[in-house]
Structure 1
Amino acid sequence: MTGSRYAFDNDHDESANRHRHLAAMYDDFTLRRITELGLAAGQRCLELGAGGGSVAARLAGLGAKVLATDLNVRHLPPDGRYDILQHDLRRDPVPAGPWDLIHARLLLLHLGSRAEILTRLAAALAPGGVLLIEDFETTFRKGVLRAPTPADAAIYDAYHEALAERVMPSFGNDPTWAGRVHAAMLDAGLTDVTTEVHARSWPGGSAGALLQASNIVQQRAALRDAGLADADLDRILELLNDPGMVVRGHLLYSTAGRA
């Protein structure tokens, strides 16, 4: 992707924690969406940006034939019940289908050519196949549900604003993309397009709070460059481990369309 790069490299020491937190936060929701969309045993499933492989493993456990792909496959266990392909969706063709299900979670928002990629994915579906794209919409604020002090709430809001409005866009991330996927699927000729928006509360020490801590660990230098002091970042890390701090997860737009 021209002018963009992935902000959360799988080679970083924190990446395994990130995959674990995301699985705890969203796998149950994602699998409910997939099963409601009609996944059946024996269907061919393409899991893009598979990360740690948690979704691919659960799809395989339901009897699907799964190909899990990622730019960096180091966290995908080689003894899983699915096939693995190192793959760059920006430059490589969509793996040969046709596919009954193509799923990508928290992937396309990072890719500069995301709209063109969605069109290619739609074209790779089997008749009746489903494309499910799940991405964060990060423009909505009010992320603090409870904080020990008003100053703590303000410092967390400042972190979220810096991450969403300055750090992530510098890597090519589009914070408005999730809200535009529904229209993009219709424009690509898909039918029965539906969007479900998911978010919940996360107290300090829970998976959702610790994902924010992982953000800080991986992007501390960029957050400093965006105006946050080290003392502020240290305080936010303390808060994210404090059960008295409660944050709201990003809005996850889960959009599905059928060929």
Structure 2
Amino acid sequence: MTTIDSAEEPGYTSSYLADQHAGQLARLRTLERAFDPLSQAVFDQLDLPRKPAILDLGAGAGSLAGWLSKRYPDATVTATDIDTRFLTGIPGIRVITHNAGTESFPAASFDVVHARALLCHLSEREDILTRAATWVRPGGWLVIEDVSLQPSLRTANPVFRKVAQAGVTLLERTIGSDMLWADTLPGQLRDRGLSNVGHRTLEGRIGDNSPADTFWAATTAQAGPALLKLELLTQDDLEAMASLRADPGFTHTALTFVSAWGQVPRLG
């Protein structure tokens, strides 16, 4: 596995989370299994036209984009990513290579603009959110979903707390991530003038063999070499955490999946 040079410019595409890693697709699949039920529930409650134009920004491995094309068979579903290697072969979607940090879409292009597990990792997140709201047609929806690691930082377990803090520090240093930003999403949408703002959360636990547990374990394993290289953890720390997670008596909330949505006001 490629490790991170601490002197490199921070960024997702050069980090341990980038798509070139051998285990990245499998890791993204664990994220999908954990997050898809919440995402689907949010879309099921939105009032959309019969033939909606939907943008899935930073679509990753494409499970939600594929689901959207089936959920709304008359929709135009556009799935974008800076690296689209995992989006090929998904029926019913249009795939575009797109850098959300530097590229835009024309105003009022979509009935829904959706981004999941994306903006927390981009330093331009505030600007992207502002621009994304302009891509939504009047009466349409901006749906932003992200992961908060707040629960793992509050744990009283010293091993888990050390590993969690090291993970947050690694994300900040090598990518520029803000893993508490998701908690601010409803306010972020209101600040941009959206109406009918709502949000849902889903607790993700570790130590219980749940989809969230699998996602957490896959991400921690992929981060392991970088955590060691930057001396944020030792091998003993990683082994202690693996033993703790395997302990039948241990389970703990590790993260929160946050979904927030808001409607662009209708004209007149």
TM-score range, shorter chain: 0.7 to 0.9
1:5 aligns with 2:11: yes
Corresponding residue number in structure 2 for 1:230: 235
1:123 aligns with 2:123: no
How far apart are the structure 1 equivalents of 2:247 and 2:211? 12
After TM superposition, the structure 1 stretch with the greater mean CA deviation from structure 2, 61-70 or 201-210, is: 201-210
Structure 1 unaligned residues grouped into runs of 5+: 145-149
Of 42, 46, 56, the residue aligned with 1:37 is 46
Could you tell me the percent identity over the aligned residues?
29
For 1:65 and 1:135, the matched residues in 2 are separated by: 24
1:20 maps to amino acid: R
Separation in structure 1 between the aligned mates of residue 45 and residue 222 of structure 2, nearest angstrom: 35
How many residues align? The count is 249
Please report the TM-score for the alignment, with normalisation by the length of structure 1: 0.87
Shift of 1:204: 4.4
Contact persistence 1:216–1:223 (CA under 8 A): no
SS of equivalent to 2:126: helix
Q: Is the 8 A contact 2:108 2:138 kept in 1?
A: no
Alignment-derived partner of residue 147 in structure 1: none
Measure, in 1, the Cα distance between the counterparts of 2:202 and 2:220.
23
- Whole-Å separation in 2 of the counterparts to 1:102 and 1:226: 39
Q: Which amino acid aligns with 1:54?
A: S
Q: Tell me by how many angstroms 1:12 deviates.
A: 0.7
Partner of 2:253: 248
Q: In the TM superposition, what is the alpha-carbon distance from 1:40 to its structure 2 partner?
A: 4.9
Paired residues of 1:210 and 1:240 also in contact (CA < 8 A): no
Between stretches 208-217 and 65-74, larger displacement belongs to 208-217
Separation in 2, partners of 1:184, 1:74: 31
CA distance in 2, matches of 1:256, 1:50: 17
Map of 2:30 onto structure 1: 21
Q: 1:70 & 1:161 partners in 2: Cα distance?
A: 29
- The 5 A counterparts of 1:1-259 are 4-6=10-12, 7=15, 8-63=17-72, 64-94=75-105, 98-141=109-152, 153-164=157-168, 166-170=169-173, 171-224=175-228, 225-240=230-245, 244-259=249-264
In angstroms, what is the RMSD of aligned CA positions? 2.2
Q: 1:249 to 1:111 in 2, by over 3 A?
A: same
For residue 66 of structure 1, give the secondary structure of its aligned residue in structure 2: strand
Which amino acid in 2 is paired with 1:73?
A: T
Q: Which segment is superposed worse, 201-210 or 236-245?
A: 236-245
Q: Secondary structure of the equivalent of 1:213?
A: helix
Distance 1:128 1:74 in 2: 33
Q: 1:162 to 1:95 in 2, by over 3 A?
A: farther
Deviations 1:152-207 (A, max 9, x none): x432221111112x111112011232122222222222111112222143434432
SS class of match (1:37)? coil
- Give the 3 Å change call, closer, same or farther, for CA 247–193 of structure 1 in structure 2: same
Q: TM-score, normalised by structure 2?
A: 0.84
CA contact (8 A) 1:111 1:172 kept: yes
**Contact residue 47 and residue 67 of structure 1 kept, 8 A:** yes
Please give the secondary structure, in 2, of the residue aligned with 1:216: helix
Distance 2:60 2:247 in 1: 28
Q: CA 1:79/1:104 → structure 2, altered by over 3 Å: closer, same or farther? A: closer
